[in-house]
Chain A
Amino acid sequence: NAGVTQTPKFQVLKTGQSMTLQCAQDMNHNSMYWYRQDPGMGLRLIYYSASEGTTDKGEVPNGYNVSRLNKREFSLRLESAAPSQTSVYFCATRPIPGPYEQYFGPGTRLTVT
Chain B
Amino acid sequence: GENVEQHPSTLSVQEGDSAVIKCTYSDSASNYFPWYKQELGKRPQLIIDIRSNVGEKKDQRIAVTLNKTAKHFSLHITETQPEDSAVYFCAASKGTNAGKSTFGDGTTLTVKP
Contacts and interface: CB of A to CB of B under 8 A. Distances in A.
B103 A43 contact: yes
**Interface range, A side:** 20 to 34
A48 B98 contact: yes
A41 B105 contact: yes
Query: What DSSP secondary structure best describes chain A's contact surface?
Result: loop
Contacts of A106: 42-43
A58 B4 CA distance: 15
A26 to B, nearest CB: 16
Contact of B105 (A40, A96, A104): A40
B46 interface: yes
Given A45-B100, A56-B98, A104 B32 contact: no
A104 B99 contact: no
23 contacts: A31-B98, A31-B99, A33-B100, A40-B9, A40-B106, A41-B105, A41-B106, A42-B89, A42-B103, A42-B104, A42-B105, A43-B103, A44-B103, A45-B101, A49-B98, A56-B98, A90-B43, A100-B49, A101-B46, A101-B49, A102-B34, A102-B101, A106-B43
Interface of A: 31, 33, 40-45, 48-50, 56, 58-59, 90, 94, 96-97, 100-102, 104-107
